[in-house]
Each structure stands twice: as C-alpha cells, then as structure tokens.
Amino acid sequence: MTTNADINDLIAFYASPLGQAAARAVSLALTPVWRHIPDERLVGLGYAVPYIDRFASDAERALAFMPAAQGAQNWPPFAASRTVLVGSEDLPLGDSSVDRILMVHSLEFAESPELMMAEAWRVLAPGGRIVILVPHRRGVWARFEHTPWGSGRPWSRGQLTRLLRDAMFTPSSWSEALLFPPFRKRPLLGLSAPLERLGRDFWPVFAGVVIIEATKQLYRGLPVASTARERRRAIKPVLVPAGAGAGARTCRSDGL
C-alpha cells in the first residue's frame, strides 16, 4: 500500500520557488498533448490545481477531485468551490459522463492502479481522453523526497503503456518535463528554464515526469458491481452521460 501525499505538503511545495519553476515546466510540457475538446467536461484527479487552472477556461465545466486520504484545497479560490473529496476507485460520477481526466499526484499513490484506471475508463465518455502525469523511474526527481515527485511509485513508459492497454486505453502522445535538477537554492533555480530546454534535446531519458495522453477504447465488458456499491452510486450526484465534446448538455436536477 502506498501512502497518499498530504495536502499541506503539496500546497507548500507549489508555493515555493522550486514548486513554481516545476509548475511552469510541467505546464509547458502539457500544452502539446492537450488536444482541444469542444464544450468538454474536465476532471482533475489527485492534486491537479496547479495545472487545471491553465486549461479549465476552455472547458464547459471543470471539477477538482481530491482523494480523501490526501485532503482537499478549495478551488477555484475566489468562486463557488468545485473541489470534491473522493475515493479514487469509486468516483461520484455516472458512466460516460466526462470528456477528459487530468491525473496528477494520483496514480503513483494508488493502492490498485488497475482499479483506478478501470474507474477512469467507466466515467470517461466514448472517445474521451485521459492525461496522466507520473514521476519517471529513471528521473532525478524520483530520488529526492523534498518534492512530491519523490514520493509514491515511479513509472517507466513501458509500465504505463501496459497499464493503459490492459485498461482498454490507447496511448496517443507522450511528453516529458522536469529536466532540470530539483534545486533548493534560489540562485540555481535561475538555470531551470535553460536546462529544461537543453534537457529536451540531450537527456530526455532522465526527465523527472512522464506525461501521457490516452483515448478510451469503446468496447469493454464491465464487471457486475455489488448491490451495495450500486446503491451508493444511486444517491450520488452525477453528470448526464454524453459523448466526448457533445454540444448541448443538461444536468439532472440533482446533478453537480
């Protein structure tokens, strides 16, 4: 079993100079894999707040799902909260109800990555996409515990590909980030941007973070859920199922 990150540690890291430099580098690496989905419903799973802000403005709706074991931060800070405490293997959403999931500081802490991916497949609409950020097994950042990327289970490209294919996802694009060392001293952080650019050309295999986008395959046999689990879902607010990027949408009267 892998212990979840603590919300206070995550907030403190991203408020630090190193955290801000890391967020800039990861956001730049996310841009080329972030394909446009018209009127999408976006869910950030784990601790996606530093990145979801960059992409939520184009979404029809965006929600921040944070694991109960991690704790939660209110988001967005100056509007009605769209943060929800969840169990990562039992999301409070209907089948095929969201268009994209951004998974950050999540998969590396999963007790069962297979169950987490199966639940992500369930809630994604046909043709929906998942974008996953995980610490890279070969990266320097996975060896330092003063960053969130140094906690949990690191992944290789091959491991991620097998996990996604087993869960009926088709990997479509890759990216890397955090090619500069996790400097603690502010003067050295001034080198982060040029080192990030150089690293893409000369040492991408040692990136601190692997980013992958995958598309939900349409055909899959779903296991029969227990009666108790179905009863729990029946009383939860859900989004109405729809295809990825569907135009006109409506919510149930008790929906989010």
Q: Determine the average pLDDT of the residues in 148-161.
A: 94
Q: Determine the average pLDDT of the residues in 47-55.
A: 91
pLDDT digits (tens, 9 = 90+) for 19-49: 999 999 999 999 999 988 888 999 999 999 9
Q: Determine the average pLDDT of the residues in 91-101.
A: 96
Residue 134 has pLDDT above 90, yes or no: yes
For tokens 């995550």, the residue is 10
Pick the more confident residue, 102 or 79: 102
CATH architecture classification, 7-234: 3-Layer(aba) Sandwich (3.40)
Range from 14-23, 82-91, 126-135 carrying the lowest mean pLDDT: 82-91
pLDDT at 221: 53
pLDDT at 56: 85
pLDDT at 174: 94
pLDDT at 254: 43
Residues near 171 by Cβ (< 8 Å), separated by ≥ 6? 160, 161, 164, 165, 212, 213, 214
Residue 202 has pLDDT above 50, yes or no: yes
Pick the more confident residue, 40 or 238: 40
Whole-model pTM?
Answer: 0.84
Q: Determine the average pLDDT of the residues in 217-224.
A: 61
Residue 190 has pLDDT above 50, yes or no: yes
Residue 255 has pLDDT above 50, yes or no: no
Residue 194 has pLDDT above 70, yes or no: yes
What percent of the chain lies above the pLDDT cut of 90? 69
Mean pLDDT of the chain: 86
Residues near 190 by Cβ (< 8 Å), separated by ≥ 6? none
Q: Determine the average pLDDT of the residues in 170-188.
A: 93
Confidence band, pLDDT 50/70/90 cuts, at residue 243? low
Residue 220 has pLDDT above 90, yes or no: no
CA distance 208 to 179: 6
Residues near 180 by Cβ (< 8 Å), separated by ≥ 6? 21, 25, 191, 192, 195, 196, 199
Q: Determine the average pLDDT of the residues in 8-19.
A: 96
